[in-house]
Structure formats: structure tokens, C-alpha cells
Amino acid sequence: MNRDMETTKTERVLEDGPVGIHRLPIEWSAYFAVQEPAVSTGTPALLIASHGYAQSCKGFIKNFAALRDRNWLVVAPQGPNQLYWEGGKVGFTWMTRYMREYTIRDNLAYMERLMDALRGQFRFDPRRIFALGFSQGSAMAHRLGAAGLARPAGVIQCGGDLPPDVATRLGEMEPYPVLIVHGRGDTQMSFDKAQEGERQLREAGWPVETDYFEGEHDLPAEVVARIVAWMERQASREGEQ
């Protein structure tokens, strides 16, 4: 391609005195981990599991190893932004407050491309798609459900909150089941945030269940087991319809 003939569209998004900040959309590589079912007894259900701040897709997907023997396809998308964490460990994050609206838009474009890729490469039941997020990933799970990219059979919010851009649209959306999981002693994401999201969902008429456990900012194995049981109940209901 003749680069002299290309027209690259940019957008001026911020003024800082005499300096203008421009947005340049580009192509970049995204990564995701996949755990396929060990045995197939029919079409698998699908879990999209979004990690928290400074975690990775490879590490986070291990929380759901038990689903491999239960005919679930588990996909863990990785946050697009890299960082160095404790001891030089590489971690990933979804976003900060910087250019928040544009980053939400970019992340949803990422999710749309991911769903298209999954539909082309893997087999799963479109009636039994679940979105789960831990900590910062909770917002991604809620946004994936709200964006209409797939009709979720359930959204699981773990140690996170209901993002305001979704909360303000609850009355416009068709409700789906939501499970809120939160440690009562969480000092990184206040327990009050979980309760506020529960209140907002209930007031909007959404079906909400909670698992408030005695713990902190974590996903203990026994809590994951209860999440799996909840998802399988919801998946069974969807399969009967």
C-alpha cells in the first residue's frame, strides 16, 4: 500500500492549553486463555472469565479447572494493558480513569472481536453463555452482558462493583440473572460497593442472588465451587427452555 495515499483518521479528544491530545485507533494483538472440556456430553456451556488488576489470563483461568470435567468451555481474555507488578512480575489491567469512555469503547470492540473468534473456532451453546469478572474484571463482565454481544444466561460479579455506565441503563435492558460474590472483609473493593450494586439491580427489577462470605479480596476454592453450582443451575434452566 502506498502510505502517501493513506488517510488515517484521528480524533482530538482533549485540550491542555496550547496542546491538543489526539486519539489514533490502531490494530493491536490481544491474548486470551482457553480451557476446553475434557469430555463432551453435548454442546458445552461457555464461561467468559475476566481477571482483576495485575493478574493474567493464564493464572486466572486456573480458578476454573474443575469445569474441564463438567463440559464447560472456559475463556479468559487478558486485559490489553501491561504493567510491572510486585518483584518485576508482569501483570495486566483493563483500564484506568484516563480517557475512560474511549477505553470502554476499545474494550467492547475487543470483546466483539473475541466473541466472533470464539464462534468461528469453538463449539458452545449460545443459550448458556456466562460472564464472570473478578475485581476490575467485574466491570468487564457487566459491560459484556450489557453490550448485547451475546445474551448472557448469567453474570457473576466477584469482588467488584456495578459500573455506573451499566447501572444507568438497567431500566432499558432485558434483565438476566446476576450473582454478586464479595468478601465482607474486603479492603480493596469496599463491601458497601457490592451492596450498592445489589440495591440498584433489585430496584430495577433484576433477578439477583448474593454470596457474601467471611473473607477478603479473593476467590477461595469453596466460593468458586458455589459459583460453579450457581452457573450450572442457571445453565440447566436455559437448557430446558
Identify the CATH number of the domain in which residue 77 sits.
3.40.50.1820
Question: DSSP assignment, residue 44?
Answer: P
Residue 180 lies in a domain: yes
Task: Tell me how many domains the chain contains.
Answer: 1
Q: What is the mean pLDDT of residues 211-225?
A: 97
Position 141 in a domain: yes
Split at pLDDT 50, 70, 90, the class of 153 is very high
Strands 19-23 and 11-16: antiparallel
| pTM score | 0.92
Contact 152, 145 (CB under 8 A): yes
Least confident span in 52-66, 67-81, 227-241:
227-241
How far apart (Å, rounded) are the C-alpha atoms in residues 39 and 50? Answer: 24
Task: Report if residue 20 sits inside a domain.
Answer: no
In this model, does residue 53 exceed pLDDT 50?
yes
Per-residue pLDDT at 141 exceeds 90 = yes
Q: Is the pLDDT of residue 1 over 50?
A: no
Q: Is residue 168 part of a domain?
A: yes
Distance between CA atoms of residues 214 and 202, nearest Å = 23
Which of 79 and 240 is assigned the larger pLDDT?
A: 79
Is the pLDDT reported for residue 226 higher than 50? yes
The range of the structural domain enclosing residue 207 comes to 30-240
- Assess if residue 17 is contained within a domain: no
Is residue 86 a part of any domain in this protein?
A: yes
Pairing relationship of beta strands 81-84 and 90-93 according to DSSP bridges: antiparallel
74 exposed, middle or buried (CB, 10 Å; 0-12, 13-18, 19+)?
Answer: buried
Burial track 1-27 (b if 16+ CB lie within 10 A, e otherwise): eeeeeeeeeeeeeeeeeeeeeeeeeee
Q: What is the enclosing helix (H) or strand (E) of 165?
A: helix 164-167
When comparing pLDDT for 14 and 192, which is higher?
192
Q: Read out DSSP for 126-157? A: TTSEEEEEETHHHHHHHHHHHTTSS--SEEEE
Is 146's pLDDT higher than 90? yes
pLDDT attached to residue 240: 54
C-alpha angle with apex 210: 114 to 206, nearest 5 degrees? 70
pLDDT of residue 239: 61
In a domain, 21, yes or no: no
Cα gap 209→129, rounded to integer Å = 18
pLDDT reported for residue 2: 47
Rounded Cα gap, residues 38 and 41, in angstroms: 10
